[in-house]
Amino acid sequence: MKTELAHYPKEELMRMLTTMQTIRAFEEKAGMMYGLRKIGGFCHLYTGQEAVAGGAISALDLSKDYVVTAYRDHGLAIACGMDPKKAMAELFGKVTGCSRGKGGSMHLFDVEHHFLGGNGIVGAQIPVAAGVAFSQQYRESGGVTLCFFGDGAFHQGAVHETFNLGKIWDLPVVFIVENNQWGMGTNWKKVSAVDDFSVTAGAYGMKGYSCDGLDVLDVRATIEQAVADARLGWPSLIEARTYRYKGHSMSDPQKYRTREEIDEYRKRDAIQSFKFRLSEAKMLTEKEWDDLTRRIDAQIEEAVAFAEESPEPSLEELYTDVYA
Ligand X SMILES: Cc1ncc(C[n+]2csc(CCOP(=O)(O)OP(=O)(O)O)c2C)c(N)n1
Q: Which residues of 276-303 are buried (b: 16+ CB within 10 A; e: fewer)?
A: ebbeeeeebeeeeeeebbeebeeebeeb
41 binds, among other proteins, ligand X, none (CB under 5 to 8 A by kind): other proteins
72 binds, among ligand X, other proteins, none (CB under 5 to 8 A by kind): ligand X
Q: Rounded to whole angstroms, how far apart are CA atoms 21 and 101?
A: 25
The listed partner (ligand X, other proteins, none) that binds 185, CB under 5 to 8 Å by sort, is: other proteins
Which of other proteins, ligand X, none does residue 32 bind to, with CB < 5 to 8 Å depending on kind?
A: none
315 lies in the binding site for other proteins (CB under 8 A): yes
Q: Report the site for ligand X in 61-80 (rule: CB under 6 A).
A: 72
Residue 318's CB is within 10 A of a number of other CB atoms, namely: 10
Tell whether residue 120 is a contact of other proteins (CB under 8 A): yes
Asked if 191 is part of the footprint of ligand X (rule: CB under 6 A), the reply reads no
Which of the 8 DSSP states describes residue 64?
T
> Which residue of 31, 120, 127, 131 would you call a contact of ligand X, by CB under 6 A?
120
Residues 36-55 that bind other proteins (CB under 8 A): 40-42
322 binds, among other proteins, ligand X, none (CB under 5 to 8 A by kind): other proteins
Among 21, 69, 119, 137, binds other proteins (CB under 8 A): 119
Is 117 a binding residue for other proteins by CB under 8 A? The answer is: no
Cβ at position 43, least distance to ligand X in Å: 12
DSSP 148: E
Largest Cα–Cα distance in the chain?
57
**Amino acid identity at 11:** E
Q: How many residues does the chain have?
A: 324
Query: Which among 171, 172, 163 has a CA at the least distance from the CA of 199?
Result: 163
DSSP 8-state secondary structure symbol assigned to residue 4: P
DSSP assignment of 154-218 equals GGSHHHHHHHHHHHHTT--EEEEEEE-SEETTEEHHHH-S-S-GGGGGGGGT-EEEEEETT-HHH
Among 111, 168, 184, 305, binds other proteins (CB under 8 A): 184
Q: Does 180 bind ligand X (CB under 6 A)?
A: yes
Site residues for other proteins, window 254-273 (CB under 8 A)? 255-256
Q: Residue 318: name its binding partner from other proteins, ligand X, none (Cβ under 5 to 8 Å by kind).
A: other proteins
Give me the torsion for CA of 295, 17, 268, 3, rounded to 10°: -160
- Which of 123, 143, 166, 247 binds other proteins (CB under 8 A)? It is 123
Residue 321 CA to residue 324 CA, distance in Å, equals: 7
Closer to other proteins at the Cβ: 128 or 283?
128
Which positions lie near other proteins, rule CB under 8 A?
40-42, 90, 93-94, 99, 101-104, 106-107, 119-123, 152-153, 155-157, 183-186, 190-192, 255-256, 312-313, 315, 317-319, 322
**Contacts with ligand X, residue ranges (CB under 6 A):** 44, 72, 120-122, 150-153, 180, 182-184, 248
